[in-house]
A = this chain, B = another copy of it.
Amino acid sequence: MFNKVAIIGIGLIGSSLAQAIARGQLAKEVSISDKNEAYLQEAEKLGLGTHYSSDPVIAVKDADLVILCTPVGAYKAIVEQIAASLAPKSILTDVGSVKGHVVKTLADLLPDHVEFVPGHPISGSENSGPSAGYAELFDNRWCILTPAERSSDAGVEKLQRFWEAVGSDVEVMDAEHHDMVLAITSHLPHLIAYNIVGTADHLESVTKSEVIKFSAGGFRDFTRIAASDPEMWRDVFLTNREAVMEMLGRFSEDLSMLQRAVRFGDGEMLEELFTRTRNIRRSIIDAGQEIDAPDFGRQVVVPEDETGDE
């Protein structure tokens, strides 16, 4: 499909992409770049690509597809560096969780002979780094493409076929709408999860060991997403501020109403809401975006100190 794919940033997503490209035999060469030397060595040890370099300018040479897989905040500096070295008719894309900011920041930096098609795979995990990646990460997940003004139909189509070849379904929408959809389906949930785990962390009335011990009551579900990559998520909130603030405003309004219902013991309102939310989960399972397993999807876990010799 491509002669040479350059992956800039070899964390969870970059590594998974490299492995999915290998699985599908989608490129003859895969050059990998990361400013983190340890990541680069790990990637080479895992055999994720054909070329490795800490210099992105070297990595993108002759590449017909360049994929930015770093936190969004690092894009500008990287593109300023590589812009002049991008091959004519190559496609530049990314995997960032925010799109409006990316379009705004990068469009003017790129030479006219480069196709620019921003993208965002809706998949991930709470683990980071090259060894956290795996080829199946994108299977049956959605990837959203948000063509910029300068994107050609041919460029968008080629990138769509690429994402389908790594296992994803593809949806095309404008960047602004993407940022609104992701603000509610991803950014706000992360912000709320980070917040509640932070609140639990500095209580005086309940010890941290009690929070950990009794987390199976619901809290642990939040820690899962509150364990996501700190730098990546910092950049998400710095670059999708407006949409996040809009969704946060609505969340807070609704929470005030719910708080009032608890205060005044409005059981009817509570039960009505709790019944409605249950139905939404059913729809997510039916859509294949979640598994239908009991005990919140956990198997029985034996702590390490209980698996000893006795």
Residues of A in contact with B (beta carbons under 8 Å apart): 73, 97, 122-127, 132, 134, 136-137, 139-142, 144, 171, 180-182, 184-201, 203, 205-206, 208, 210-228, 230-231, 233-235, 237-238, 241, 244-245, 247-248, 250-252, 254-255, 258-259, 261-263, 265, 267, 270-271, 273-278, 280-284, 286-291, 294-304, 306
Contacts and interface: CB of A to CB of B under 8 A. Distances in A.
Nearest to A125: B294
Stoichiometry, as copies per complex, reads: 2
Given A184-B219, A225-B221, A230 B303 contact: no
Contacts of A237: 261-262, 270
A278 B248 contact: no
B259 A289 contact: no
A49 to B, nearest CB: 21
Nearest to A237: B262
Contacts of A206: 180-181, 184-185
B238 A270 contact: yes
Contacts of A288: 301-304, 306
24 contacts: A122-B217, A123-B295, A125-B294, A125-B296, A140-B300, A142-B213, A180-B206, A185-B206, A185-B219, A189-B219, A194-B277, A197-B280, A198-B258, A198-B277, A218-B225, A220-B281, A221-B222, A221-B225, A224-B296, A230-B270, A230-B278, A234-B271, A237-B262, A238-B267
A222 B284 CA distance: 11
A192 B191 contact: no
Contacts of A258: 191, 194-195, 198
Given A195-B251, A215-B287, 20 more contacts: A123-B295, A126-B296, A134-B294, A140-B302, A141-B216, A142-B214, A184-B200, A184-B206, A184-B219, A186-B217, A193-B218, A193-B277, A223-B284, A226-B274, A227-B277, A227-B282, A230-B275, A233-B274, A244-B262, A286-B304
B191 A262 contact: yes
Given A223-B284, A297-B224, A214 B122 contact: yes
Nearest to A176: B205
A91 to B, nearest CB: 23
A197 B276 CA distance: 9
A122 B226 contact: no
Contact of A284 (B195, B215, B267, B277): B215
A255 B127 CA distance: 25
A127 B182 CA distance: 28
B127 A294 contact: yes
Interface centre among A181, A185, A218, A252, by most B CB within 10 Å? A218
Contact of A263 (B241, B255, B261, B295): B241
Given A263-B241, A263-B245, A196 B185 contact: no
